[in-house]
Amino acid sequence: MPSLIDVVLHPERGKPSPEPLPVSLRPLARFGIVVWAIAVVVTWALWFVGQVPGTAVWTCVAGVALGVIGLGFVHWRGWR
């Protein structure tokens, strides 16, 4: 087994890097959209009774919109 100094000075002598694992980003994007959509409903209800400002609702709406954009980007790029 090569020493640490040998590996640092000559990285080509070390073990090859493993292949990256294929990861699907679509379920992650969908999960984020669902979480933001639930947050929209909760903050809207709290805004309706006067507990949170309207900016909280719009923040959650922006989260849903960005999630949809991200899901479209993942689909457009062809990432699993």
Q: What is the pLDDT of residues 55-77, one digit of tens each?
A: 999 999 999 999 999 999 988 88
* Mean pLDDT confidence for 26-48: 96
pLDDT above 90 covers a percentage of the chain that reads: 60
In this prediction the pTM is: 0.71
The closest alpha carbon to 36, from 56, 16, 53, 20, belongs to: 56
Residue 5 has a pLDDT of 84
**Does the pLDDT of residue 27 top 60, yes or no?**
yes
User: Which positions ≥6 away from 61 have C-beta within 8 Å?
Assistant: 40
What phi and psi values does residue 52 have, to the nearest 5 degrees? Answer: -130, 155
CB atoms within 10 A of CB 46: 14
Confidence of residue 11 (pLDDT cuts 50, 70, 90): confident
